[in-house]
Amino acid sequence: DSGVTQTPKHLITATGQRVTLRCSPRSGDLSVYWYQQSLDQGLQFLIHYYNGEERAKGNILERFSAQQFPDLHSELNLSSLELGDSALYFCASSDGNSNQPQHFGDGTRLSIL
């Protein structure tokens, strides 16, 4: 158990819909990273938050948005969903220092029908 909690584990929805993925970081961790992993692909960095503030953006689509709340949990919102958005979405947390390992949650598997 990494200490990072992601909900839900699975999500099945239709094209055009909107979903929210939730992540609770390890106790004491201030940084939250979001990644998208399509089938047999690498980890695509989406966005990074540190203590409530956005710090870095990767290849995140405009249809996607995220935030980190005062209690440090984070949500990733995906809207106008397309078939190509089907993927495993991981959240990872670290203590905020980029010189430390990231701890990954078990991911949310999103399936668009």
Partner 1 sequence: GENVEQHPSTLSVQEGDSAVIKCTYSDSASNYFPWYKQELGKRPQLIIDIRSNVGEKKDQRIAVTLNKTAKHFSLHITETQPEDSAVYFCAATTSGTYKYIFGTGTRLKVLA
Contact between 53 and 70 under an 8 Å Cβ cutoff? The reply is: no
Evaluate the omega torsion of the peptide bond into residue 101 and state whether it is cis, within 30 degrees of 0. no
Q: Of the two residues 11 and 48, which places its CB atom closer to partner 1 in the complex?
A: 48
Does 103 contact partner 1 by CB under 8 A?
yes
What tokens appear for 26 in the block?
A: 């390890």
Does 100 contact partner 1 by CB under 8 A?
yes
The only residue of 32, 33, 34, 108 in contact with partner 1, by rule CB under 8 A: 33
String marking each residue 35-74 x if it binds partner 1 according to CB under 8 A: -------xx-x--x-x----xx------------------
Instruction: Give CA–CA dist 70/87, Å, rounded.
Output: 28
